[in-house]
Amino acid sequence: MPKVKIQYNISLKPYNTFGIDATANEFVEVTTIEELLLLVNTFNFSARKILVIGGGSNLLLTKDFDGMVIKNSIQGLELLNEDDESVWVKAMAGEKWHSFVMYCIEHGYGGVENLSLIPGCVGAAPMQNIGAYGVEIKDVFSSLEAVEIETGNIVLFTNSDCKFGYRESVFKNELKGKYIIVSVVFRLSKHPKFNVTYGAIQQTLDKNEIKDITVKAISDAVIEIRTSKLPNPKILGNAGSFFKNPEISTLEFEELKVKFPNIVGYPTSNGNTKLAAGWLIEQCGWKGKQVGKTGSHKDQSLVLVNYGGAKGNEIWQLAMDIQQSVKDKFGVTITPEVNIV
């Protein structure tokens, strides 16, 4: 019989990459679907707040949590099916994202190599529709299973059910807090089409004199790029990119370009222009600036950091100050990518 052990007044410092020392009233770690179902069917979640965490890498805790924190540690990888073109791999939600990517690289499965070294767990990937270097989860997503908290039923979600957008899904909006993702199925390619045009991937391949492009070569390049400009959260507390790149109309972009000729923007598929939030923040003088125990990282202004001992509300105040300064200078609103609790 599965059992779950509830712990009380637990520090969440080890469970979030910002290293914020907030306390949870109740804390429980589940390692199987059976344990999760027991938990959901035993406790009245309509009467208590819950927070589900995986790697804690997309989370800013601004205060103690007066509810139950559920650490999803359900792990496992399984090859479900394959044909001449594709393979379908099922990854459990508590599996580390980078471990899943490395499994795909090792087997030559294409589609997630551009998403190497992203922190966090598989379960958070569809919630956020994580993306990097021209690739998003929705491009390789097949389906997921999630436990409905109210009923304890396991529900299947297809790609269209998830309503994926830029760093968005149904789980961040109308279904927020209603489901706990337990597994995700990805459709990967046996004959991948490589995406090397975004960021510095091609330059890195050229620098390393890589002529034979493979999923491993691209993964290695992405890891090299990310390592060179993003701080390791085990050394310096952070949650990766704090803000999303804002999207504006192309007309607005052209107007901004008159005033700011060097402004960085990329055309989107819907005819708008996506601005580089990091560039906007840098132009406002935040890059490398330290405010108390927090600051914007010296190599990547999008990354807010905890230099040690910062409280979550201090980091949130810094984020709001950055947000306001970008609004004042450019008339553009940048919104957090990180989940603020």
Active site residues: 167, 241, 337
- For 163, other C-beta atoms within 10 Å of its C-beta total 17
The Cα–Cα gap between 328 and 281 comes to 11
CA nearest to 335, candidates 319, 315, 317, 313 = 319
Q: Which two tokens stand for residue 316?
A: 């949130």
**CB–CB of 132/219 below 8 Å?**
no
State how far the Cα of 259 lies from the Cα of 245, in Å rounded to an integer. Answer: 20
Query: Quick check: 148 and 178 in contact, CB under 8 A?
Result: yes
Calculate helix-pair angle for 215-229, 97-106, nearest 10 degrees.
150
Residue whose token pair is 């923007």? 265
